[in-house]
Amino acid sequence: MNYGEEGYAIFITLGVQTHIAYAADNLGHLHVILGEYDLARNFYERSFELSAAIDSRHGKTWIAAYMIHLYCDLEDVLGAREWVVWGSEEAGKIFSETDYPPINLAITRYLILKNHLDEAQEKLKVAYASLLKRGADFMLAEYYYVQGLYESALENHEAAISTFRNSLDIYQQLNQQGGINRVLLAMTKVEIAIVRNKKKFTDTMSFSVFMDQLEQHARENNYQGILMQHALLKAEYQTALGEHDAAQLTLKDALTFTDSLGVKTLRKRILERIQQLEKE
């Protein structure tokens, strides 16, 4: 993080807009990895503004995809919608629909969040067709991730876990920390859905294994914002098991992790959830 901040400061001093946009973009990625989504949003917006100033259509469209994912990370449909509309229109000016998987997959994730699953299925087909042409490993990992979200939305939990494993394997090979975070968060949500639906685990699934893996990964790398997301999920898991007091303790402990401006939204959600649990 220090190198990223130093580089950003140097480029601002030099005044080269292209380099400042690139540095801001990188800082956005770093804050997403930390789970500091509010700061990530600020840096992505800064990069977008600079890309617009230098008329970098490719740069703006990439950032639109990043922003859609960021808002989906926070399950903020309204926040994502603006970027979906803009990204769809802008990408269409530069690429054919089958030539731009990043924006297609980001929009597909948004459609899944809105539970527009028929549209999401069609987008997945388009994205897969473009991947056959491009063949980039990181895009294949993202495709598996979004496909897993689709399967999870259909409540095909075992299929979702299998697909998420494919994504996680690639992200781990590439050491793409943001992707690893997202997949582990998604796998944890599947575990919670299974508990809520009172379905039996199969031999391929262990009780809370992904939740534990997510916590270990976040603690080892000091991703405080991801730990706060983990706490929100753990509290939901505990609530599903009827452990309301334990859930409150989990959330109150999470408020001590960090008071960074980057986790302002997460802290607000934790406080709101604590208040809800106190009334139940």
Judge whether 222 and 256 are in contact, CB under 8 Å: no
pLDDT in tens, 88-137: 877 666 655 556 778 889 999 999 999 999 999 998 988 888 777 766 78
pLDDT in tens, 204-242: 445 689 999 999 999 999 999 999 999 999 999 999 888
pLDDT in tens, 40-95: 999 999 988 887 776 566 678 888 999 999 999 999 999 999 999 888 877 666 65
What does the domain layout of the chain look like in residue ranges?
1-55, 223-280
Q: What are phi and psi of 202, to 5 degrees?
A: -95, 180
* Alpha carbon distance 52, 256 (integer Å): 39
Averaged confidence pLDDT in the chain: 87
Secondary-structure breakdown of the chain: helix, strand, coil percentages, each rounded to the nearest 5: 85, 0, 15
